[in-house]
């Protein structure tokens, strides 16, 4: 499962775009204390958010060849809309022409002949396998927006996961990115609704951030997809990404944030629920202390003896 480690950045907690366990797995093969030591054959399968799965293989017959494969449910929908181009742009000759059976993309690395590539650099690139694949879709639309004289691409949408659809509506001066969001759990829906409204309100204090809106009714841009009535989901979150948000080397950062936004939202919902539970447990503990202090102490019975030798018990 992807790491839940987060970093603090300008008051907002962002999830790491890469997969920490994938990084540790390939690092154990690429970075070794004793390069002369014989490599062990491995076949490791990993899971990530959004029903994504990985497979890392070092075959017993080819111990110097590392194979990293990924299976992504939405790959077929986004392959020709930047996903395939994004992977090839990031990994070049490492991309295998035909992916391994059961997977959508496979990288093949000759660990005995890395050339000028540092193992640490390659590990950092490999942990971003999914990020480069999904990020390719955002790059596909944003790069076209930044090309002088280019015509806007056709609108496009894909299911990032079963409860989240991402829409792209390009125009001459912007690309509108819309998330159709939903949650199965009733508590998650309630927390997400409050969080998203606060998220939109907080954006108003950030002058350079993309315009952002959230509501149960679909925005007008979705009419091109035939969506004009509430879909019964949690709502629609809209980001209007302008050219000014992408120039001067900012595109990579924008893509990194937008592609993991759904996981970012889920992470904060779980953090909020954890906080609520901890506060409730603390409150219960305080109430138990109050009840314990309200208990009456039992009466102490004292035995007394008279001068004649008789005894009697007196309550004190």
User: CATH number, domain at 127?
Assistant: 3.30.1460.20
The per-residue pLDDT for 302 is 65
- The whole-angstrom separation of Cα 239 and Cα 211 is 6
The per-residue pLDDT for 231 is 82
- The whole-angstrom separation of Cα 241 and Cα 246 is 8
The per-residue pLDDT for 308 is 75
Number of structural domains in the chain: 1
Encoding tokens for residue 142? 């944003």
With respect to residue 41, please indicate whether it lies within any of the assigned structural domains. yes
Encoding tokens for residue 190? 């309630």
The per-residue pLDDT for 206 is 72
- HSE-CB for 289 with a 13 A CA cutoff: 6
The per-residue pLDDT for 292 is 87
With respect to residue 296, please indicate whether it lies within any of the assigned structural domains. no
Which residues of the chain carry a pLDDT beneath 50? 1-11
With respect to residue 279, please indicate whether it lies within any of the assigned structural domains. no
With respect to residue 306, please indicate whether it lies within any of the assigned structural domains. no
With respect to residue 277, please indicate whether it lies within any of the assigned structural domains. no
Residue range 154-208, pLDDT digits in tens: 999 999 998 999 999 999 999 999 999 999 889 999 999 998 988 888 777 777 7
Number of Cβ within a 10 Å radius of residue 154? 10
Q: Which residues contact 5 (CB under 8 A, 6 or more apart)?
A: 15, 16, 20
The per-residue pLDDT for 101 is 94
Per DSSP (E only), the strands in 85-152 are 105-110
With respect to residue 302, please indicate whether it lies within any of the assigned structural domains. no
Q: Which domain holds residue 159?
A: 6-271
Q: Which residues contact 208 (CB under 8 A, 6 or more apart)?
A: 244, 245
Q: Is 139 exposed, middle or buried (0-12, 13-18, 19+ CB in 10 A)?
A: buried
The DSSP letter of residue 246 is T
Is the pTM higher than 0.85? The answer reads: no
The per-residue pLDDT for 50 is 80
With respect to residue 308, please indicate whether it lies within any of the assigned structural domains. no
With respect to residue 57, please indicate whether it lies within any of the assigned structural domains. yes
- The whole-angstrom separation of Cα 92 and Cα 84 is 11
The per-residue pLDDT for 13 is 67
| Torsional class of 309: left (φ above 0), alpha (ψ -120 to 50), beta (otherwise) | left
């Amino acid at each position: 499962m992807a790491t839940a480690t987060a970093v603090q950045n300008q008051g907002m907690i962002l999830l790491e775009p890469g997969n920490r366990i994938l990084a540790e797995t390939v690092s154990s093969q690429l970075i070794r204390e004793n390069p002369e030591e014989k490599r062990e054959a491995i076949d490791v399968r990993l899971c990530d958010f959004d029903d994504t799965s990985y497979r890392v293989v070092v075959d017993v017959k080819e111990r110097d060849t590392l194979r990293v494969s990924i299976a992504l449910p939405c790959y077929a929908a986004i392959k020709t809309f930047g996903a395939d181009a994004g992977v090839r742009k990031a990994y070049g000759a490492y991309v295998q022409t035909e992916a391994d059976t059961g997977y959508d993309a496979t990288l093949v690395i000759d660990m005995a002949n890395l050339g000028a590539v540092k193992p640490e650099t390659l590990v950092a690139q490999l942990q971003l396998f999914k990020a480069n694949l999904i990020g390719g879709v955002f790059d596909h639309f944003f790069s076209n927006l930044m090309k002088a004289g280019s015509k806007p691409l056709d609108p496009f949408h894909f299911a990032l996961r079963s409860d989240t659809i991402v829409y792209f509506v390009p125009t001459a001066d912007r690309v509108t990115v819309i998330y159709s969001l939903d949650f199965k759990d009733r508590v998650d829906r309630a927390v997400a609704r409050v969080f998203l409204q606060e998220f939109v309100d907080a954006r108003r204090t950030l002058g350079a951030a993309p315009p952002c809106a959230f509501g149960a009714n679909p925005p007008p841009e979705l009419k091109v997809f035939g969506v004009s009535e509430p879909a019964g989901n949690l709502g629609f979150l809209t980001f209007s990404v302008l050219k000014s948000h992408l120039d001067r080397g900012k595109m990579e950062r924008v893509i990194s944030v937008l592609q993991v936004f759904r996981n970012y939202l889920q992470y904060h919902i779980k953090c909020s629920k954890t906080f609520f539970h901890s506060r409730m447990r603390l409150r219960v503990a305080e109430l138990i202390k109050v009840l314990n202090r309200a208990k009456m102490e039992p009466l102490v019975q004292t035995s007394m003896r008279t001068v004649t030798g008789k005894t009697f018990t007196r309550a004190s």
